[in-house]
Structure 1
Amino acid sequence: MTSSSAQRLARVLIASVGAVYILIGLWYFSVSPGYGLAATVLIVAVAALHFLTMRAALRDERPPLFPLTVALQAVATYVPDLFLPSGWSGVAAPMLGGAVLVTLPPRFGWPLVGLMTVYAGAVIFPYNPVVALFYGLTVLLTSGMVHALVRLVRVTSDLEQARAELAEAAVLRERLRISRDLHDGLGRSLTAIALKGDLAGRLMDRDPAAARHEVGELVRVAREAAQDVRQVARGYRELSLAGEANRGAALLESAGVGCQVHLADVTLPRAAEEALAWGVREAVTNVLRHSAATTCTIATSRHAGSVRLEVANDGVPAAGEPSGDGKDAAGGKPSGDGKDAAGDGSRENGKGPGGGGPSGDGKAVPGGGLTGLAERAAHAGGTVDAGRTPAGGFRLTMEVPA
């Protein structure tokens, strides 16, 4: 049930209750025409004020001129007891009780409705105890029903708003997942394609066989990237730490960066292993794109119920500064326009993980990649840290529960 349909249902039921009590008020014509006319005017006034109050309450608002409207309804309910016979207030009190419950806090509303119930029964009791019980119960039950209808509409509206907010949050989470997976997953693949394409171009003349091999590797990485895109679209990506470490080492070696892998023999929960695998992938991508490293180490170790991943390299030179042998990290000479060996300037020397530069204390200023990696680690209950080493290199550390 939507909030609009609940509102329509509540309005119909509340209007029907008012119409029934108007018909009951017409009974006073059987006593005398004067009493009948007075009772009709009064019950119509009570019903109109009641409807105004309920319409505002269904929108979770106070009625216009509140509390004057409720006060006028109370006057029209109880003052006529002074001149109309047969317990007039018992006819109008059920509508007043509903108005009291929806406009006043429960700590005031329910005690007042209790007093109205007792009064309705007490007025009639000397004449007919059975009718007195009926009048009293009518006040209590009708007031409670009207209050329940209004609460139903308000709760339905709140639930509808909550569903809309949850749907919006789900869309935002999915967008964040796609953005993070594309950055973390395709970043390494595109970097590898650029490096292998550049290497194949440089080997084309002097070693055609090696160039063909690199082109074949480029095609393989491109197919892996296409598969990554399909997995991102389906929302299913399963990574292994060992697989990512081995692929990262092979990619670094092909780019001229010596790499050693030391993985502890530890069985990890699925979430923890995937978080560490993403850490390896992000770290390798950033070694290739943002450093002039010549060596890199990928290692895991176990410490007091957690597993620690460290990816360290030896090269974070100042911006534009070549490595010690005058070559870039891919093993080629920097080009005349300041670009790296891949030809696209993607190796932004001096940048930290995720493209963020080191701060004054050696910590990395978080970029998109490091921020996404921190979110993945937090999802697995872990942490991420990155910054320069005392020897001038760069280290990315991730720790997750084992």
Structure 2
Amino acid sequence: MSSPSLLTVSSAQRLAVAVVVTISVGYTITVIAFVLSAGSFPQIALLIGALAGFFLPHYLHIRAALGNVEPSGAPYGLAMQVVATYAPFPAFGPWWTAAAAPILAGSVLLRLGPRRGTWAMIPIMVFQAWWSSTGPYGTIASGFYYALTVFITGFVLYAVTRLVVVTRELEQARAELAEAAVLRERLRISRDLHDGLGRSLTAIALKGDLAGRLLAGLPAGAAGETREARREIGELVRIAREAAQDVRRVARGYREMSLTQETHRAVALLEASGVSCHVNLMEEELPRPVDEMLAWAVREGVTNVLRHSAATTCSISTSRVSGAIRLEIANDGVAPVETSGGEGPRDGHAATADGAVLSEPEGVPAGRDGSGLTGLAERAAAVGGTVRARRAGRGGFRLTVEVPAP
């Protein structure tokens, strides 16, 4: 069984407005209909004036209460409502006052607050009890009934408007608690990254340094192999140290990526892996969100080239196309996609919810290792961009990212 949904500010405000309108119309509609149908022209004019003088301040009180605006200054609007409630008594008798007095009690509570407003309601309740018990058909029971009507109606109007304020405060409290929970989780992740992965990467770098020193002490019989091994170990140490620095930056919360720097790192990594790399970046300063998005795209694209292909060449280029910046990463050496169940070869395309067209990483069957491109598409969608990844020609693969930029 599903749990009931929480009351939102908008639903609470709709409820409050519905209750206020129902009470305001329900209490006064009979008097208004009687005067309009049987009253004289002066009585109709007096009724229109009384309605305007009563409900205009009433509306202002309700609006201020729904907006949680603290009242200030003299209560002129409340005084106008009192006059509009009791001045027509000689013309209409007790019927208009009986309809307006309970609504007036709500305005009293909203304007003066529950402490002072409760005391201010006492004269209203006493007057209602007096005329309803001393009239031609009055009884003590009717006096008690009308006095109780003033009290209950006033607090109902006050309660439904305060419900909106309390609901808004609860929503703010929930948002603050959620933000605090996210902050605590970030602190935990930062601590775990710094204490766990950072320490492991530092140990890898130290072990690499040690291996390099041990190689330096070997006899010179295999100088070429020793030199090559020393170079590879040095590259391993450099990459481990850069990764450790990245972990520390993430843990400290100020990591910033740059397209130029990420491209330089990608070129060094590709060439160290035996992949010839060609770079053609446009000389234009990009907005920070666009630059960071494209840097992530370079990182993801180069990671796929190294992990999922036997590429010998790779190109990275940027260009401006129709108000957008386009990044293209193309490589060769794509492995053929295995098929199962006699379904024939797949084209490697998959559509995401945001409209980006993705592909399985080069030659990797669906569901095995495709989360990187999905995450990249989500990053691109956050800045209004798109991602397309597809096979190009025979054994080629092209990753295209377009991000709007002024």
TM-score by length of 1: 0.51
Q: Aligned equivalents of 2:184 and 2:336: distance in 1? A: 38
Give the aligned partner of residue 308 of structure 1.
Answer: 326
Give the aligned partner of residue 299 of structure 2.
Answer: 281
Give the aligned partner of residue 292 of structure 1.
Answer: 310
Give the aligned partner of residue 289 of structure 2.
Answer: 271
1:299-353 deviations in whole A, cap 9, x for unaligned?
1112122111111110111369xxxxxxxxxxxxxxxxxxxxxxxxxxxxxx944
Partner SS, residue 390 of structure 1: coil
**Residues 366 and 173 (structure 1), Cα distance of their counterparts in 2 relative to 1, 3 Å cut:** farther
Amino acid paired to 2:389 = A
Mapping of residues 24-63 of structure 1, within 5 Å: none
Give the aligned partner of residue 108 of structure 1.
Answer: 22
Alignment partner of 1:247 out of 259, 265, 268: 265
Q: How many residues align?
A: 255
**Residues 291 and 135 (structure 1), Cα distance of their counterparts in 2 relative to 1, 3 Å cut:** same
Q: Aligned equivalents of 1:170 and 1:368: distance in 2? A: 29
**Is the CA contact (8 Å cut-off) linking 1:383 and 1:398 kept in structure 2?**
yes
**Residues 391 and 102 (structure 1), Cα distance of their counterparts in 2 relative to 1, 3 Å cut:** closer
**Residues 116 and 172 (structure 1), Cα distance of their counterparts in 2 relative to 1, 3 Å cut:** farther
Give the aligned partner of residue 89 of structure 2.
Answer: 125
Q: Aligned equivalents of 2:315 and 2:365: distance in 1? A: 20
Amino acid paired to 1:109 = I
Give the aligned partner of residue 342 of structure 1.
Answer: none
Aligned CA-pair RMSD: 4.7
**Residues 274 and 121 (structure 1), Cα distance of their counterparts in 2 relative to 1, 3 Å cut:** closer
Amino acid paired to 1:312 = A
Q: Does 1:141 align with 2:55?
A: no
Give the drift of 1:268.
1.0
Q: Does 1:150 align with 2:160?
A: yes
**Is the CA contact (8 Å cut-off) linking 2:337 and 2:363 kept in structure 1?**
no
Give the drift of 1:296.
0.8
Share of identical aligned residues, percent? 48
Mapping of residues 3-402 of structure 1, within 5 Å: 105-114=19-28, 125=89, 138-144=101-107, 145=110, 146=155, 147-161=157-171, 163-164=173-174, 167-168=177-178, 206=222, 207-318=225-336, 352-353=360-361, 357=364, 367-402=370-405
Q: Aligned equivalents of 1:121 and 1:170: distance in 2? A: 50
**Is the CA contact (8 Å cut-off) linking 1:123 and 1:132 kept in structure 2?**
no
**Is the CA contact (8 Å cut-off) linking 1:116 and 1:139 kept in structure 2?**
no
Amino acid paired to 1:111 = V
Q: Aligned equivalents of 1:247 and 1:306: distance in 2? A: 24
For structure 1, which segment, 229-238 or 134-143, has the greater mean C-alpha deviation from structure 2 after superposition? 134-143
Structure 2 unaligned spans of 5+ = 1-10, 35-83, 111-154, 339-358
**Is the CA contact (8 Å cut-off) linking 1:312 and 1:395 kept in structure 2?**
yes
**Is the CA contact (8 Å cut-off) linking 2:388 and 2:401 kept in structure 1?**
yes
**Residues 392 and 142 (structure 1), Cα distance of their counterparts in 2 relative to 1, 3 Å cut:** same
Q: Aligned equivalents of 1:287 and 1:380: distance in 2? A: 25
Q: Aligned equivalents of 2:184 and 2:381: distance in 1? A: 17
**Residues 122 and 301 (structure 1), Cα distance of their counterparts in 2 relative to 1, 3 Å cut:** closer
Amino acid paired to 1:211 = A
Structure 1 unaligned spans of 5+ = 1-59, 62-100, 321-350
Q: Aligned equivalents of 1:270 and 1:102: distance in 2? A: 46
TM-score by length of 2: 0.51
Q: Aligned equivalents of 1:214 and 1:122: distance in 2? A: 96
